[in-house]
Amino acid sequence: MAEVMQFQKTPCWLDWHADPSKPRFKLPTGAVDAHCHVFGPGTEFPYAATRKYTPCDASKQQLYRLRDHLGFARNVIVQATCHGADNRAMVDALLHSDGKARGVATVGRGVSDAELQAMHDAGVRGVRFNFVRRLVDFTPRDELMEIAGRVAKLGWHVVIYFEGGDLPELWDFFTALPTIVVVDHMGRPDVGKPVDGPEFELFVKFMRQHSNVWSKVSCPERLSVTGPPALNGEQNPYRDVVPFARRIVESFPDRVLWGTDWPHPNLKDHMPDDGLLVDFIPHIALTPDLQRKLLVDNPMRLYWRESA
């Protein structure tokens, strides 16, 4: 019983959608879901003692079923904070993917070269640095820079997750990173502010001035204030996020990625239907050319370089 109690999820966190719709938008052949997670199962892969939330279990088998249901060909599995720097659940999922999944890990400066190489062999191609205060404790910048220097030698990139308002303070650190830098969810803009206002302009400038910076144009369900169609009765899902994501896709078509973010940690207001999330894509990438870059060419170049 004590074991079971240990993994009871954070009570306010919603369960992931058990029966997502079939998307109306047909994904291009070879599409990659470039941001998703596996959680546990906690009895097999325990959650970190330092975690800020306990998720629902979300296994590799469930993730791969969703992949097939939505019409994706591949996944990029991103280490989430609830597993800390214990990458076993993510690596196990990669090893059972038939080569159809790559990973992004979280490591500390104590990680050995042999451990990094083993992760590389399993399909890890990046590390994630998280600056969202509600999710992680502070890690010294010199430790992160040291890790970035080490993984650069493996050809990996750095994924960064931060809140829009924190970009000015983080700018110097981000722009000194020696790798490709992939921003999660457009740096979490406040979509209640204008798309051409100073906060988002700074993010656009960040990408414009630094050709090594990429962005995931994912997580409308996290950023939206208007919400999904089921709540506001509109055809266009998460419409307030559209101008932000569309601007990034059209300005930097060769440096954008998209992912479902399944199983959507920490959502408390509504749990998205993953089929509807896929239907968001043609609102932000309007042409087949932009859609192919976003969903196939860019993630293949970053994660499956050998076969891109």
For binding to ligand 0GY (CB under 6 A), which residues are involved? Answer: 80-82, 135, 161, 184, 222, 261, 265-266
With a CB cutoff of 8 Å and minimum separation 6, the contacts of 223 are 185, 186, 188, 189, 191, 238, 240, 241, 244
The type of residue at 305 is R
CB 37 within 8 Å of CB 303: no
Instruction: Give 186 or 296: the residue with its C-beta nearer to ligand 0GY.
Output: 186
> Which residues have a Cβ under 8 Å from the Cβ of 295 and sit 6 or more positions away?
27, 28, 30, 31, 32, 258, 281, 285
**In this structure, which amino acid lies at residue 264?**
H
Minimum CB distance to ligand 0GY, residue 232 (Å): 22
Nearest distance in Å: CB 183, ligand 0GY: 11
Q: Do 194 and 168 meet the contact criterion of CB atoms below 8 Å apart?
A: no
The catalytically annotated residue of 33, 57, 184, 261 is: 261
Return d(Cα 287, Cα 77) in angstroms, integer.
27
Minimum distance of ligand 0GY from residue 222's CB (angstroms): 6
For residue 44, the minimal CB distance to ligand 0GY (Å) is 19
Task: Supply the minimum distance, in Å, between the C-beta of residue 261 and ligand 0GY.
Answer: 5
| HSE-up of residue 49 (Cα within 13 Å, Cβ side) | 0
Query: Which DSSP helix (H) or strand (E) runs through 75?
Result: strand 74-78
Would residue 261 show up in a list of annotated catalytic residues for this protein?
yes
CB atoms within 10 A of CB 150: 16
Of residues 131 and 174, the one with the C-beta less far from ligand 0GY: 131
> Measured from the CB atom, is 74 or 222 closer to ligand 0GY?
222
Q: Which is nearer to ligand 0GY, 261 or 279 (CB)?
A: 261
| Contacts of 251 by beta carbon, 8 Å cutoff, 6+ apart | 204, 207, 208
Q: Residue 265: which of 6, 64, 54, 66 has the closest Cα?
A: 54
Q: Of 260 and 298, which CB lies nearer to ligand 0GY in the complex structure?
A: 260
Catalytically active residues are 261
